[in-house]
Amino acid sequence: MNKTAKNIFEMKVKSSTENLGSIREFVEEKAMQSGIDKSIIDKIVLAVDEACTNIIKHAYNYDETTEFTVRVLISKTEFKVLLIDHGKSFDPNQIADPDMPTYLKQRRVGGLGLHLMRHLMDNVEYHNLEGNVNQLILTKKIA
Amino acid sequence: MAEFSTKHREDGEVNIIELNGYLDAHTAQHLEHAISDLITKNKYKVVVNFEQLKYISSAGLGVFMAFIETMRTNSGDIKLAAMQPSVYNIFDLLGFPLLYEIFPTETEAVNKFKY
């Protein structure tokens, strides 16, 4: 965990659900230092948790020898979290939000992560870059 | 880091599971075991006390979805109680109150089974 430049903070984590707690603490601490409201911080933290869980589960299929990067970028108006992995890519545009009454009626399990991210953040962007670099950008307006 | 624990108590034929800490994709398995354990003992009336639960992600919500049908088909239920507002907000955001009975206190949830 190191501060690479003013208002840019980064941590590299092993792809294990065991690290979700420290990722949440890292993001929460940076958001608190930025003076963001607790209710907004809770939303950012949950969205990041959901995104990291998806990376660990889907991009890396629970392979704990892999790792990914959590990068926080803070400006006057936005709190951004970039998640960078080198695992299996996906196209979020192909994943529609579930119809919740149907979801509940069918007692479905899982598949709510992206849906939550879209609800909790102002913008969710995904890029599959050259060299098998997957970049998910979660943005929350803070002013 | 992601600390989580459960405690089990009984009130008559109602089984109370107290949650403590952070319920995420790492700790959800712990709760799964606690509920599976009740099913193996044919105990289907469950109240989950959320008072000490500080955090929940969708992996935690998934645990309740995985077991609700088993409980209801065996004349039981999973009733939820005493959630902190930040936790309730996640349930509410996803429409879970449509499927689950959520009570302000554990006593109210337990009484719903009794009376």
CA distance B93 to chain A (A): 8
pLDDT digits (tens, 9 = 90+) for B15-48: 999 999 999 999 999 999 999 999 999 999 999 9
What pLDDT was estimated at residue B44? 98
CB atoms within 10 A of CB A35: 7
A86-99 burial code (b ≥16 CB/10 A, e <16): ebebbeeeeeeebe
Q: Is A99 on the interface with B (CB under 8 A)?
A: no
Give A58's contacts in chain B (Cβ within 8 Å). Answer: none
Please provide the average confidence, as pLDDT, over all residues in chain B. 96
What's the token pair of residue B2?
Answer: 């992601």
User: Would you call B95 and A50 a contact, using CB atoms and an 8 Å cutoff?
Assistant: no
pLDDT category, A6, cuts 50, 70, 90? low
Phi-psi group of A138: left, alpha or beta (phi > 0 → left; psi -120 to 50 → alpha; rest → beta): beta
Strand B45-56 and strand B14-23: the pairing is: parallel
Q: Please report, in angstroms and rounded to a whole number, the separation of the first and last CA atoms in chain B.
A: 41
The Cα B73–Cα B70 span in angstroms is: 5
Give A25's contacts in chain B (Cβ within 8 Å). Answer: 1
Q: Is B62 on the interface with A (CB under 8 A)?
A: yes
Q: Point out the least confidently predicted range of A3-7, A18-22, A60-64, B109-113.
A: A3-7
User: Would you call A42 and B3 a contact, using CB atoms and an 8 Å cutoff?
Assistant: no
The Cα B89–Cα B53 span in angstroms is: 13
pLDDT category, B1, cuts 50, 70, 90? very low
CB atoms within 10 A of CB B4: 21
Q: Point out the least confidently predicted range of A81-95, B78-92, B98-112.
A: A81-95
- DSSP class of A106: T
User: Would you call A49 and B96 a contact, using CB atoms and an 8 Å cutoff?
Assistant: no
User: Would you call A42 and B66 a contact, using CB atoms and an 8 Å cutoff?
Assistant: no
What does pTM read for this prediction?
Answer: 0.94
Query: Taking 60 as the threshold, does the pLDDT of residue A73 lie above it?
Result: yes
